[in-house]
Amino acid sequence: MNSLLMAIICFVAYLVAYYTYGRYLGEKIFKLSPVAKCPSGELRDDVDFVPAKKEVLFGHHFTSIAGLGPILGPAIAIIWGWVPALLWIVLGSIFMGAVHDFGSLVVSMRAKGRSLGDLVGDLINPRVRQLFLWIIFFELWLVIAIFALLIAILLASYPQAVIPVWFEIPIALWLGYMVYTKRKNPTLLGIVAVIIMYITVIIGAYWPIKMPGMFGLNSLMVWMVILFIYSFIASTVPIQKLLQPRDYINGHQLLIALALLFIGTLVAHPTFVAPALNASPKGAPLIIPMLFVVIACGAISGFHSLVSSGTSSKQCDLETNAKFVGYGGMLMEGALSVLVVIACGAGLGLGLVVKGGEILTGTAAFTQHYATWAAAAGLKSKVDAVVIGSANLMASYGIPMKVAITIMGVFLVSFAATTLDTATRIQRYVISELGASLDMKPITGRYVATFIAVITAMILAFYSGDGKGALTLWPLFGTVNQLLAGLALLVLTIYLLRKQVSIKVAAIPFVFMVVMDGWAMLINIRKFAATGKLFLFVLALIIFVLMIWMIVEALIATKIVERRAEVEPFPTFSTPG
């Protein structure tokens, strides 16, 4: 199958979906209003609640939800074949992920920017609020710790990315100052900022920087300490000073990377060398249900609901912009995952250098890299497949391999860093909401809550002595993340039920995700028991029971919802505290 033809088919499907199903959701289901009050203006504090133009917010939202998820997931899932990977990416993002992200954003905006975990107390009951907030805390605890490690590994693996990644911070501070203080044009300045950043990319390609170990810490741990300090600062300063302009730059970087990869697909138009279907790779788990857990961010991810209801809802300046940001952002992420599948499944076949200097091409290159599940599942293996395949596509029209690899290295680190600082900021909100619900006012403050968010992740990361402590719990992340997606869809279903509109758009994806994730969790529970991993077994079992508990509570609540809807079809959410 020609990769160019497949890319065009997928991109056309996304465009059609945005202007049909996306419009239907906005006009008929959520009934977006251009005159509705938004929390970004109504509660503006110039720290967290700050109105942003939709293109600026899109940059923040997309780069926050993307991270490494839509890149690493498809890079491993293609071992089952490019057909199932693309089908789940395209159909999942259109009918599940985009609905999930869009709905979470709208519901949070109509609840004064409160997170889904907090407002679920109004929709179901306060007990479920506590359960949901603790599940969210657990997920973000893992995300912060593991992404600090991933970024450190990437900076060590791609030292040429160090200069451009860290130089992006002063560029973002300058951009935020010019846009919000000097009231300059964000579009023009955004272009200037990206040009400056790509100059640093070229510098970095020829001037790599390697971090030495110091103070008794290895180089990875040194990077992690720096990253934890950065995430504390980035998550407490006003959002328009650093986080928003940095993500706006990264949004431009995304468009450039997508364009470079698409041009490579257009020029090289390589044929897929990955198998169309490989249901039983050596050592791999069952394709169903694990495909729907491995590919998360490219199709649907619970973390997205945290971004939509955590930071994006506090910045959206018009309710009608929610479709562009929420639904459109998810489709753009799906498009990125499509290109990742092409890079791994076709671009890798353009050339793979193996030990001894031999260059493999075609099916031999793919087979060498994806010989077994164990060989393909490691971080370095997944990143290498994406970087090498993407660099091959760029090299097809003249970009030097050294520069192409740097571009991809910076791209990966920048997106991972965005997820890190956004996750830390959202964790601060969650801790504040937990503190308010438990009547523990001291931990609701901005700095105290952020300190708790950072220090708990740091303890998890460093308890093993090498910065890799989070890897102990990482086998649970995929199922917990997809559990969160299912529960977010459950919240949307109850919300729509109270609105007395069709619940099918959220209810059907909810049932699908709960069935697939529940199945995957049971497989993991059995695996942990069989391999003697008692701690993971107990923790996974507790999470599974909590999922069932929340669903039962919600089903009971629907009877109450149906009675309330007769007299109160449009619920009014209260502000926290």
H helical segments located in 312-400: 322, 328-345, 362-369, 373-377, 379-395
In whole angstroms, give the CA distance from residue 100 to residue 491.
Answer: 10
The tens digit of pLDDT for each residue in 323-367 reads: 999 999 999 999 999 999 999 999 988 888 777 778 888 898 888
503 alpha-carbon distance from chain centroid: 25
DSSP per-residue string spanning 376-393? HHSHHHHHHHHHHHHHHH
| CA atoms of 104 and 98, how far apart (whole Å) | 10
The continuous run of DSSP H or E covering 353 comes out as strand 352-353
Tokens encoding 14: 């996304």
Kindly report, residue by residue over 272-326, the tens digit of the pLDDT: 999 999 988 888 899 999 999 999 989 999 999 999 999 999 999 999 999 999 9
Residue 378: phi and psi, rounded to 5, are -70, 155
Residue 135 has pLDDT above 80, yes or no: yes
Confidence at residue 576, expressed as pLDDT on a 0 to 100 scale: 37
Structure tokens at 245: 């302009």
Q: What is the rounded radius of gyration, in angstroms, for the C-alpha atoms of the chain? A: 22
pLDDT at residue 426 is higher than 80 = yes
> What domains are defined for the chain?
3-565 (1.20.1740.10)
0.85 cut: is pTM over it? yes
Q: How many of the other CB atoms lie within 10 Å of CB of 207?
A: 12
Q: Which helix (H) or strand (E) holds 359?
A: strand 359-360
Nearest to 345 by CA among 75, 544, 4, 98: 75
Torsion of CA 156, 161, 162, 166, to 10 degrees: -140
pLDDT band at 378 (very low <50, low <70, confident <90, very high): low
CA distance 364 to 368: 6
Whether 42 shows a pLDDT value over 80: the answer reads yes
The answer to whether residues 369 and 363 touch, using CB atoms and an 8 Å cutoff, is no
- Farthest CA pair distance, the chain: 75
Asked if pLDDT for residue 567 goes beyond 70, the answer is no
3-class DSSP state of 569: coil
Average pLDDT over residues 486-501: 91
Query: Among 303, 261, 362, 223, which Cα is nearest to 63's?
Result: 303
- The whole-number pLDDT of residue 564 equals 57
* pLDDT attached to residue 303: 93
pLDDT at 573: 46
